[in-house]
Structure 1
Amino acid sequence: MSEVRRPPVVAALDIGGTKTAAAIVTRHGEVVDRITAPTPGRAGATAILDTAADLVGRLRARAAGTRVHAVGVGSAGVIDHRTGRVLSATDALAGWAGTDLRGRLCELLGLPVAVVNDVHAHALGETRHGVAVGHETTLFIAVGTGIGASFVIDGTVLAGAHSAAGHAGHQPSPYAVGLACTCGGREHLEAIASGPGLTEEYVRRTGQPVDDLRTVAARAADGDDLAIEVVLLGGTAVGSAVGGLVNMLDPAVVVIGGGVSGLGDAWWQALRDAVRRETLPSLVGVPVLASTLGSDAPLLGAAALAWEGTA
């Protein structure tokens, strides 16, 4: 009796500052298996790569009989879209800058590897399989520990001449007056509207230390006036910046994702109101939508790149 030949699949990796996720993905964007592990960010590039390769290896073992065609990677940091090398990264990933991410994973896994920044991967996931399917141009904004963006044109990410396009959090914001940014600059959007930025704003207003944004969100839900003001401020600051980007890029659709986007209806309403105040009259109809794929989005976007790179 002949062996049944299963359709090939690809492996996808989402390498973040705290967690690395891996998945097996079909050509149609179905996640058939997944696994995660903490990212050993302080242990250096070799440990990070070994963790990623181990996750893919475990998935391949569990998918015995199915050929893994290639690997797609969405990674934190600025990724050279031509070479797959990490150009720069935050301190959360020690020694990550300068890593030949594509080449090292090719060696470890013996498979073709496609690499992109993690926010770009998220945007690709939404345009290929999520809420932005069918749109010619998509502006994606991720609001979380940092604030990143991606502009996708006909299914292709605009990487920029230096592979650094998308640093939406590092544009000036009128809501961040006097605030230092993690990049070393001042008065940037990320300093006021990211998760840590909003948490610090609440502490400044109340003098009360809190663990993180979840505490602020819970207090806002309980009717804490200052917490509500901070939530609304965050939505307004992001919306103002998005409105300016809409005026510049004229996207068919805007998609917002990231952990901060889970702050609830008040944050979303403040954001959408601010977008409308900033956009030109001809652009007020551009839809502003919530990401629908959640943590699967970067995996699906990375998988799409893997399929394309080996087509």
Structure 2
Amino acid sequence: MWKKLKLFQTFIHKSDYLNSKIKVLITYRYLFFLIFAVFIWIDFHVYTGRSLVGLYSIIMVFSGLVFKPVWQGILQSILVTIIRYVVAPDGFPSEVEVIFFQWISYFAIWYAISALVRNSIEQKENLVRMTTALANSIDKRDKYTAFHSSNVARYAELIAKEMGFDQKFCSEIKLAAQLHDLGKIGIPESILNKSGRLTQEEYEIIKTHPMIGYDIVKHIKTFSNNGILDAILYHHEREDGSGYPSGLEGQKIPIKAKIIAVADSFDAMTSNRRYRENNSFSFAVKEILRCRGTHYDPAVVDSFIQVIDRKGTDILNVKVISDQG
């Protein structure tokens, strides 16, 4: 088990997320043409009589950020090359090879930047696929909690949207929720699959899973910057300070951890467990309301209740609970 854990750590430390600013640029590709037009105006009206090769190199960097297909890069570099000589004080050179090498230079800039973007996107997609697969494999270690992480991720995302958080935050908390029980990879099977309630000693071992999960992914810088690490580590903290692993209370608990705590508890109470049958939908809602302000953040609970009021038991319709070993 620990060898697998070390291999996973080694792989995941080399992965990182695509910078969100680049994703915004890719979304708004039309900005390329606006910036290109501004650069042409600057070249034609502000710096008349000067050949601004660097100005067009900048536009090719931007093109590489927002256009991925090679044919688009070829067309963009051809367009930039033509405009560069149309506006140039000396016009087109008589030597065709000069024009060709100018185009090659612009295309090389585009290709280098585009390759970096593609590599970043692939790393992110591979990371998400791998972590999701790992989370699902952890769930499947226990037939009573199969798909738990996926359920919690869906509930957490609904709550975050209800609270008015933007899409970036919602995507982050969805991933954090997928990974919230990652540390259970280090918990012995005999404890995870024990029939009946856990002893105090066994419960203390279970309580180590947030720290184990944190240790697995703590070297991923983006996870630290966007709060995913804190969500994994603190999702069992309580408002009154009675949670674990650090006994944080109130505003000291990160908001992502607070949201996952409610989503986690709701799924746990509406799922079959090895030591009991699932509670009713109404019981789970009442229990979360009862613990508002003690276990759970009031604002998070209020948003959760708003989701419940709107969706009712339909919130469970896509909930998948496996009855297979």
Structure holding more strand per residue: 1
RCO comparison, higher one (Cα < 8 Å, 6+): 1
- Greater gyration radius: 2
TM-score (norm 1): 0.29
Structure holding more helix per residue: 2
TM-score (norm 2): 0.28
